[in-house]
Amino acid sequence: MTDKIIPLADIRYASRVPLVPAELLSPTGLLADTQARPLRDLRISVTDRCNFRCSYCMPREVFDKDYAFLPQSSLLSFEEITRLAKVFVAHGVEKIRLTGGEPLLRKHLEVLIGMLAKIQTPSGQPLDITLTTNASLLAKKAQSLKDAGLQRITVSLDGLDDAVFRRMNDVDFPVADVLRGIEAAQRAGLLPIKVNMVVKRGTNDDQIIPMARHFRNSGVVLRFIEYMDVGATNGWRMDEVLPSAQVIERLQAEFPLSAIDPNYRGETAERWRYADGAGEVGVISSVTHAFCGDCNRARLSTEGKLFLCLFASQGHDLRALLRGDFSDAQIAGAVAQIWQNRSDRYSELRAVMPADTMPGDGLKRVEMSYIGG
Ligand code: SAM
């Protein structure tokens, strides 16, 4: 099979307008796909813009001053996001994660959080609402986010060494400001705080132990994410991936650990506890141990396209339904049909990893900034 190189913009806009079924059934909260995977987790990208230029996510060469970010009119409004969120919750979603781009760059985000916080699950429970941020604006916003109804937060931080971190974010942003953001989130009670560190072999793997040492005994749960290198085509490269098993080995040599059970089925991180009671760490093995089998996540892009996988090449254009003359029941019917037809294609493909390359078949990572990593 030959690799097909698809320009980024084409991928971003690749989508189809969903079919609305003629017969509409009321959502039961029990929607399942062809592999009996429920729909529990919705990740909503609220902006495609970011103030960092991390080389592995929004590299400066692509996201330069000429890059065409989405115009305001393309973005889902807060009302549109909330309308869709209600549909997804009726189908079983219990957790909403706001992401981006950098979600704190979206103006008046607190208003959206307030609107989402009013939604309840069919059994009357509040939603678990969280947000992933680079923390550049967190010191200023932590309290207002909490007041609006945000419960907890995940911060991305790739190292404690200032030179390493400034190089990785490529906008010269200092570690100290991220740490100040984390402290503000702690004071505001956005708990438990998780910190995600993407590990790139040869770039920041020397930061694993200092990061672990820093966050031990702090109540913060540090998680190491395998760097996903999908390259410019469909090939997966392993040169810069440090497998989670090796991260754990390095940690074990310094701080004895024992494995602990997942909090729930489908959790992305494998959890480990420090034997001396200093807290827990996790690893997210997106490359060496793909977790597609339990994947219960859907992703809503900044302009309202529904993606069923981080690596999907095509989305389902829910904005077309929102802005067309469709009722909530019709949109719910369309979403149900999409999820029920969700196949195991990606897990089959990913099961063969880590191979040198992945099969082509049009499979390609959609921009992280667009559907949120
Ligand atoms: N701007 C926010 C932030 O920095 O957390 C949210 C968006 S960012 C795309 C979400 C997460 O995806 C971050 O933790 C980031 O490190 C991770 N990420 C982005 N590109 C990645 C890659 N190639 N491999 C692994 N993780 C990646």
Contact present, 31 and 352 (Cβ < 8 Å): no
Please give the torsion angle defined by the CA atoms of residues 299, 304, 306 and 312, in that order, rounded to the nearest 10 degrees: -80
**How many CB atoms are located within 10 Å of the residue 243 CB?**
18
Ligand 1 contact via 237 beta carbon (within 6 Å): no
The finding on whether 56 has its CB within 6 A of some atom of ligand 1 is: yes
- pLDDT at res. 313: 73
Q: Which helix (H) or strand (E) holds 247?
A: helix 244-254
Q: Which of 292-306, 318-332, 341-355 has the highest mean pLDDT?
A: 318-332
Task: Give the distance from CA 314 to its chain's centroid.
Answer: 17
154-182 confidence digits (pLDDT tens): 999 999 999 999 999 999 999 999 999 99
Model pLDDT, residue 21: 93
Ligand 1 pocket residue status of 198, Cβ below 6 Å: yes
Give the model's confidence band at 358: pLDDT under 50 very low, under 70 low, under 90 confident, else very high: very low
Give the H or E element holding residue 79.
Answer: helix 78-90
User: Which atom of ligand 1 is nearest the CA belonging to 196?
Assistant: 14
pLDDT class for 360, splitting at 50, 70, 90?
Answer: very low
Residue closest via CA to ligand 1's atom 12 equals: 373
C-alpha closest to that of 36 among 294, 332, 309: 294
Give the per-residue pLDDT at 320: 96
Distance CA(165)–CA(326), nearest Å, equals 47
Give tens-digit pLDDT for 273-297: 999 999 999 999 888 877 778 889 9
CA of 57 to the centre of ligand 1 (A): 6
| Cα angle: 347, vertex 251, 293; to 5 degrees | 15
**Gap between the Cα atoms of 181 and 106, Å rounded:** 17
As a whole number of angstroms, the distance between CA 168 and CA 142 comes to: 24
Average pLDDT over residues 80-86: 98
Ligand 1 binding pocket includes 132 (Cβ within 6 Å): yes
Question: Which has the minimum average pLDDT: 20-29, 107-116, 136-145, 309-318?
Answer: 309-318
Residue that is written with structure tokens 């079919």 in the block? 19
d(CA 89, CA 41) in angstroms, rounded, equals 9
pLDDT by residue (tens digit) across 221-239? 999 999 987 654 445 678 8
Find out whether 54 and 169 touch, Cβ atoms under 8 Å: yes
**What's the pLDDT band for 265 if we cut at 50, 70, 90?**
confident
* Amino acid at residue number 56: Y
| Cβ atoms of residues 44 and 100 within 8 Å | no
What residues does 45 pair with on adjacent strands? 99
> Which of 266-270, 349-353, 355-359 has the least mean pLDDT?
355-359
| Ligand 1 nearest-atom number relative to CA 134 | 4
Q: Pick the residue whose CA is nearest to atom 1 on ligand 1.
A: 102
Is residue 124 a contact partner of residue 162, using CB atoms and an 8 Å limit? Answer: no
Q: How far apart are CA 87 and CA 30, in angstroms?
A: 13
Reply yes or no on whether the pLDDT at 7 is more than 80.
no
- pLDDT band of 353, cuts 50, 70, 90: low
Query: With pLDDT > 90 as the criterion, what percentage of the chain qualifies?
Result: 75
Examine the pLDDT at 92 and tell me if it is beyond 50.
Answer: yes
| Residue 44 CB–ligand 1 contact under 6 Å | no
pLDDT of res. 344: 66
Q: Indicate yes or no: pTM above 0.85.
A: yes
pLDDT higher for 365 or 203? Answer: 203
Rounded CA gap, 120 and 128, in Å?
10
Residue 36: left if φ>0, alpha if ψ -120 to 50, beta else—which one?
left
Model pLDDT, residue 287 = 81
Dihedral sign from CA coordinates of 254, 134, 185, 146:
negative
Query: Residue 147 pLDDT more than 90?
Result: yes
